[in-house]
Structure 1
């Protein structure tokens, strides 16, 4: 039985807790957070604590807390022999160097607390300070995911930036699209099949090959029509993305 302590109660921590708790060979023996209120949803499921000096002995300690306090939290765990892991995409492994055994366990996915996620489909990027620890982390990761990859800190940071573009930025564009629809009394839901088709295409085509639209066609009339419809706050963004598409595909406005 592998014993796990989770530090944090946010979205990533909550989904990890659920994924591990469903496995017979893993026991989440404790959840830590400095805020007692945030521990309420875990208190009937496992031991909880607000005192980081009272963590139980475990095989793995997951730091699933905001990036800017990872190093500070890790320094307080240097007395433990278990493997100290953080779950951030943007923080290097060296932030854990004050501990004896450490590594990375980065699930490459967007987590919302009330969304059901199949963890078996989530890529987990792992890294460690030794070959032995890497093997232990891999064994743990494979209990909840069928896609586990060794990725170093620089590669993981690049993946995180790429993920921001394809997830966070694209969602912001959905929000702008919804705003445009609302301004013109159109139901945004009419665009949902298009969103699904766009996401589906890159399962068989590269994003470069899947590109369509007036920017790719160098369709000046349509571009000018769109700019005329848009409010001033969206015109510059439209122009910049149009130019970016044309730069990538060797077109000229």
Structure 2
């Protein structure tokens, strides 16, 4: 059974911890976080620590920390015969500064502590510093999902960038839509079916083929009406996205 120490108390760390605690093939022996209170809920289940000098000996050390903490934290993990992983989409494997074998276990997904995760549905992007480490990493990753991709650091940065567009930016647009609804006293829930349908269409159509709306139709009258209803920042967003859509489909206008 592979022994694992997890470092970090964010949303991903929380869900990986829960998954490994229920595993019959992975032995999560310790969780580290610099603020012990954030992992105190685990104290009756597993060893916890806020002291890097008290980390237990494990086969794999998984860093679930912010991107700017990876290099500094990993530099304290001096385990030459062990495997140290980070879980970042936008950080190179070379940012791991331990003297151990190195790897990346990246889930291109958004995580929230109060939202249950079905890991079996998720893709996993793997990278390792050697073929031997990759073999170990593949075996470990199958504890979470069989949907495995071998992705190097540069490719992973591209995936992370694209994920910002489809997740973070789209969610912010949802927020703006909710603000527009709230300001005008209409329920945001009315829009949830169209949100679901937009995602559902991507199973059959490419994003290019699925595009609809006044910008694609060059419906100037509707566009101008919409612009009068927006705050200054929303108007900037609306104008820029409308311009992008128009230019994308300009040949068909």
Compute the TM-score of the two structures, normalised by the length of structure 1: 0.96
* Pair 1:177-2:177 in alignment: yes
Q: Deviations over 1:29-77 (max 9, x none)?
A: 0000111211211111111111111111111100111111100111100
**Counterparts of residues 140-219 of structure 1 (less than 5 Å):** 140-219=140-219
Q: Deviations over 1:128-181 (max 9, x none)?
A: 000110111011111211211110001111111111111111010001001111
Q: Deviations over 1:13-44 (max 9, x none)?
A: 01111122222011100000111211211111
Aligned counterparts of 2:5 and 2:223: Cα–Cα separation in 1: 54
Q: Given that residues 5 and 31 in structure 2 are in contact (C-alpha distance below 8 angstroms), is that contact kept between their aligned partners in structure 1?
A: yes
Between 78-87 and 134-143, the greater mean CA deviation after superposition: 78-87
Q: Given that residues 218 and 252 in structure 1 are in contact (C-alpha distance below 8 angstroms), is that contact kept between their aligned partners in structure 2?
A: no
Q: Given that residues 76 and 98 in structure 2 are in contact (C-alpha distance below 8 angstroms), is that contact kept between their aligned partners in structure 1?
A: no
Instruction: Give SS of 1:41's match.
Output: helix
Residue of structure 2 in register with 1:119 after alignment: 119
Aligned counterparts of 1:74 and 1:97: Cα–Cα separation in 2: 5
| Structure 2: 5+ residue stretches without partners | none
Residue of structure 2 in register with 1:250 after alignment: 250
Q: Given that residues 5 and 60 in structure 1 are in contact (C-alpha distance below 8 angstroms), is that contact kept between their aligned partners in structure 2?
A: yes
Aligned counterparts of 2:97 and 2:53: Cα–Cα separation in 1: 19
Between 19-28 and 121-130, the greater mean CA deviation after superposition: 19-28
Q: Given that residues 8 and 32 in structure 2 are in contact (C-alpha distance below 8 angstroms), is that contact kept between their aligned partners in structure 1?
A: yes
| Structure 1: 5+ residue stretches without partners | none
Residue of structure 1 in register with 2:83 after alignment: 83
Matched positions, count: 253
Compute the TM-score of the two structures, normalised by the length of structure 2: 0.96
Between 153-162 and 76-85, the greater mean CA deviation after superposition: 76-85
- How far did 1:98 drift? 3.8
Instruction: Give SS of 1:180's match.
Output: helix
- How far did 1:251 drift? 5.1
RMSD (Å), alpha carbons: 1.4
